[in-house]
Amino acid sequence: MTRSTATLAACAVLGFQLLASAQTDERAAAWLAKAQAAAGGAERLAEIQDVELERRVSSAGILQNLSGTQLVRYILPGTLRQQSQLDFGRLAVFLSGDKGWIDGPQGYMEMPPLQLRQAQGEVFRAREALLLSDRDESRTVRFLGETEQDGRAAGELEIASKSLNQSVRVWIDAESGDLFRIAYDGVVLQGQAPETVELFGDFRTLDGVRLPYRTSISQNGRAVSSIQLLGARFNSGFTVEGLSQR
């Protein structure tokens, strides 16, 4: 497996009381409040400083299929350590702010710009961060409308990061309040970026937080990967220095 293939694999396998600000319109704030309540409450979400997710992943690429397990650790708002044991071997990815690295079967390398932007997007779309976007001054939240999506009445919002120049659309179930779907532009070297959709299901409550245990991912309508959550932990006391160790 070449270094470029390892890089592509990393790309392939790589979610209080209401304080509505000028960056969040009233309708968007109301829908986010509904989602926060469903997820365990804004106070509980605001207590979360770091997250660990253990999951099983499988993906179908153009050149090859990949499967294995991942250990994903976040320090909110901008640090990620993702360690995967895949068919071809171990792959570790680290990001903090605007710097990162990849370490796999072909060795260590500084994270190229394409993968850096993708990793930053993954941290930006971390579920706990998305749900509290109305109180993050670096984000804007905009109400797009009430719609029906995947057979559910839902509210559609757009959440954007001013510093990263990235955005994501989210759908919140009108009945349950679950944030059950997101959509965003994928990352490509050139040409039209594919629309990536993540659909969440099998919601369960763990340590006071409601989480999806199943995620299906598609690009331009084609299923490309699935994720099964095996376990999660919050506030383990991770440090950036600790997560950066190779």
What CATH number is associated with residue 60? 2.50.20.10
- pLDDT of res. 60: 76
Residue 15 pLDDT > 50: no
Q: What is the largest CA-CA distance in the chain?
A: 51
Angle (CA) 88 91 94, round 5°: 165
Mean pLDDT of 16-39: 77
Residue 58 pLDDT > 60: yes
Count other Cβ atoms within 10 Å, centred on residue 136: 19
Band (pLDDT 50/70/90 cuts) for residue 193 is: confident
Band (pLDDT 50/70/90 cuts) for residue 4 is: very low
DSSP string over 147-178 = EEETTEEEEEEEEEETTTTEEEEEEEETTT--
Cβ pair 94, 72 in contact under 8 A: no
Q: What is the mean pLDDT of the chain?
A: 89
Residue 22 pLDDT > 60: no
Mean pLDDT of 192-203: 93
Cβ pair 167, 159 in contact under 8 A: yes
How much of the chain exceeds pLDDT 70, in percent? Answer: 87
Mean pLDDT of 50-77: 88
**How many domains does the chain contain in total?**
1
Residues facing residue 147 across a β-bridge: 154
State pLDDT tens for residues 168-190. 999 999 999 999 999 999 876 66
Residue that wins the pLDDT comparison between 228 and 22: 228
- pLDDT of res. 214: 98
State pLDDT tens for residues 108-140. 999 999 999 999 999 999 999 999 999 999 999
User: How far from the centroid of its chain's Cα atoms is residue 177's Cα?
Assistant: 18
Domain that holds residue 12: 3-243
